[in-house]
């Protein structure tokens, strides 16, 4: 059982590093990275050249009403819309998407779709 979990964790780590060799956030196009755990979802817009997070939001944040959205996929979509709104306030409208080794479906896809609905292009 532990070996299967270790293999899944290592596969995600390999996917994450393989993607990060290509996806780099610049001041013109920062990186939108999505992290998810079993309980929470987090999205950040990061400029890799200066190494700072420009915008960040989580389902634990006070601005996000997690109880108002029933399912985790819908929470992801709402989180993507709110991150896009905060990024637009900072003058960011183009980003590169980093799924952090997660497969592009479910919650990760919902965050990306919500960000696109909010006005970000990637």
Looking at residue 116, its pLDDT comes to 97
Domain of 69 in residue numbering reads as 2-118
Q: What percent of the chain has pLDDT over 70?
A: 98
For 32-79, write each residue's pLDDT tens digit.
Answer: 999 999 999 999 999 999 999 999 999 998 888 767 778 999 999 999
Report the C-alpha gap between 88 and 30 in whole angstroms: 12
Number of structural domains found in the chain: 1
For 81-116, write each residue's pLDDT tens digit.
Answer: 999 999 999 999 999 999 998 999 999 999 999 999
Question: Model's pTM, two decimal places?
Answer: 0.87
CATH number at residue 86: 3.30.420.100
């Amino acid at each position: 059982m532990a070996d299967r979990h270790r293999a899944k964790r290592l596969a995600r780590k390999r996917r994450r590093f393989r993607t990060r060799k290509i996806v780099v956030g610049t001041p013109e196009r920062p990186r939108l990275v999505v992290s998810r755990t079993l309980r929470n979802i987090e999205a950040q817009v990061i400029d890799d050249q200066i190494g700072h997070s420009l915008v960040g939001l989580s389902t634990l944040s006070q601005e996000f009403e997690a109880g108002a959205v029933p399912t985790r996929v819908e929470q992801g979509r709402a989180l993507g819309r709110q991150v896009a709104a905060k990024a637009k306030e900072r003058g960011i409208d183009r980003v590169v998407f980093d799924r952090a080794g997660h497969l592009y479906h479910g919650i990760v896809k919902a965050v990306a779709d919500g960000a696109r609905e909010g006005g970000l292009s990637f």
